[in-house]
Structure 1
Amino acid sequence: MKNLFPRLCLAVIVLNSAAACSRAQPDSKSLFNGKNLHGWHADVPAMDTDTTARMPFVVRDGLLVSLGTPGGHLITDGTYSNFRLELEYRFAGKPGNCGALVFVSTPRALYDMFPKSIEVQMMHTNAGDFWCIQEDIVVPDMEKRRGPKEKWGVNGDKLRRIPNLTDGSEKPVGEWNKLTIECLGNSIKVWMNNDYVNYGYDATASSGHIALQSEGSEVEFRKVQLTPIKKLSDS
């Protein structure tokens, strides 16, 4: 019995530790099942009136593909807060423009096209920039990076772009890039191929849908993975 009691205590400690680890590391999930666009809906203004307009988001060879035209957004049905989003993407041919949007709410809030959100840019050579779309965010060295304060804004001809911190983090065209976006509260951190490329805080939103763009260039996605982040205050 003397030897059995310490073993039982150790077993209880191990089980409790395993349960704590399970609670501390929520399960991640793929937002793309590789077969269809279940869990997403498209908002493509051209399709409202043009019956011949094609759907710019398709599944091809197990990849989620943004065809680039007509312009629009593929939006998650669900809303999310406190998460890490991992995207693996490449330009299928000529590189160009695309974006991943977080904290998405009101559709077509800008130029009758872009939903209210914070965009994490995927445009070739500019991946990791922030674009403010009827929402705002603060970054360190704000005036140096965004321009004169009196010209800041979230719509129209205002300075909505906040450039990323590094250059040269993208892979050559045709190779797969890994874009990681971490949203915790109203802050956003961005990594491109594991390089830390942007950070913003005091965003005017902290939850919403997630969206991918169709904006001029064909882009293939092979991974769209979301992992919840458990805040310390929730434990």
Structure 2
Amino acid sequence: MILNFSTSARISSLKSVISGSMFVRMCPVLLLGAAALFVPACGTSYSYAYGDGSGGYPYDWKVLLKGDSLDAWKVFPSETKGDAPVTWTAKNNLLFCSGTPAGYIATVSEFTNFELELEWCFDPSKGAGNSGVLLRVQQKDEIWPKSMEAQLQSRHAGDIWNIGDFPAKVDPARTQGRHTIRMGECAEAPLGVWNRYRIVMNGGRLEMYVNGELQNVATDVAVLPGRIALQSEGSYIMFRNIRVRELGNATKGAAEAGK
């Protein structure tokens, strides 16, 4: 089913979000280590029950980013912290990506059936950006690895890209080649505002939500263990509140179960 939202409904929804679940918090420019990487912090945030990533998550969620540690992740291509530029930096529960060179940071652990939540924000001083969340990432490491991509390109979050002919079925009416556009209108907040992705990969069903709105569905997705990865794709981008919980035996997804 393709969702359509009227302009008036979207404006009403945005007003509700701004007055209710969002709060404004202006942050100073952050200085990251010896590399002196200046990144303006995003100033508006979706506020939800589990705060800023520093703790307090329910027991069944695994926090993938804590403090300044990247112990749960592995970078490809590999980096050294000598004179070479560092693409990925963690600081105070935030993950910063410089955007160059092209590559990704992937979880050390593999996940098959899971629910993933994260927030992202592009640097508003640099304009629209590009990145993606890679799901069920298969070996070997390459650019780009076989996986299902949840798009993060500005104004295209919620699109699906199929990388390496990953077995899956999508709506043919919204698909051209490997690219399946989202359902309905863009659900992203304005540039420079934190957005929230919720991704459910359960059995052969993939559901993708942007700021609480269902944006895409795939079915008959190959049920394979794989890593979760974030792309470095030419743009400065920040991530936070990255958490995952493993699901048991495959069940109906949230949207399907509500029918």
- Which TM bucket (shorter chain)? 0.7 to 0.9
| Distance of 2:156 and 2:178 partners within structure 1 | 14
2:174 maps to 145
Number of the residue aligned with 1:6? none
Do the aligned partners of 1:68 and 1:217 also contact (CA within 8 Å) in 2?
yes
Question: How far 1:52 moved relative to its partner?
Answer: 5.3
Following the alignment from structure 2 to structure 1, what is the Cα–Cα distance between the partners of residues 67 and 196?
18
Query: Once the 2 structures are TM-superposed, how far is the Cα of residue 231 of structure 1 from its aligned partner?
Result: 2.6
Q: Quickly say closer, same or farther: Cα 1:217–1:232, change in 2 above 3 A.
A: closer
1:37 pairs with 2:63: no
**How much does 1:82 deviate?**
1.2
Tell which has more relative contact order, 1 or 2 (C-alpha 8 A, sep 6+).
1
Q: Taking structure 1 as reference, are residues 52 and 136 closer, same or farther at Cα in structure 2, changes over 3 Å only? A: farther
Is 1:81 aligned with 2:112?
yes
The aligned length equals 190
1:62-84: per-residue Cα shift (whole Å, max 9, x none)?
31111111111101000001110
For 1:59, the aligned partner's letter is A
Q: CA deviation at 1:107?
A: 3.3
> 1:6-49 CA distances to partner (integer Å, 9 max, x unpaired)?
xxxxxxxxxxxxxxxxxxx971111111221111100027x69x
Q: Which runs of 5+ in 2 are unaligned?
A: 1-57, 252-259
Q: Which of these residues, 234, 246, 258, is aligned with residue 216 of structure 1?
A: 234
Which protein is bigger by CA-based radius of gyration? 1
Deviation at 1:115, TM superposition (A): 1.1
Contact kept? 1:125, 1:167, Cα under 8 Å: no
Whether contact under 8 Å (1:184, 1:206) holds in the other structure is no
8 Å contact kept, 2:208–2:215: yes
Change (3 A) 1:208 1:230: same
Structure 1 length as normaliser, TM-score? 0.75
Instruction: Please identify, of 217-226 and 188-197, the stretch whose mean Cα deviation from structure 2 is larger.
Output: 217-226
2:222 maps to which of 182, 201, 204: 204
Q: Which is richer in helix?
A: 1
Residue 101 of structure 2: aligned partner? 70
Q: Which stretch of the first structure deviates more once superposed, 190-199 or 223-232? A: 223-232
Asked whether the equivalents of residues 118 and 136 of structure 1 are also in contact (C-alpha less than 8 Å), the reply is no
Partner of 2:161, secondary structure, is strand
Matched position secondary structure for 2:241: strand
Provide TM-score, normalisation by structure 2: 0.68
For 2:140 and 2:99, the matched residues in 1 are separated by 18
Point out 4+ residue stretches in structure 1 off by more than 4 angstroms: none
1:61 Cα offset (Å): 4.1
1:130 aligns with one of 155, 160, 167: 160
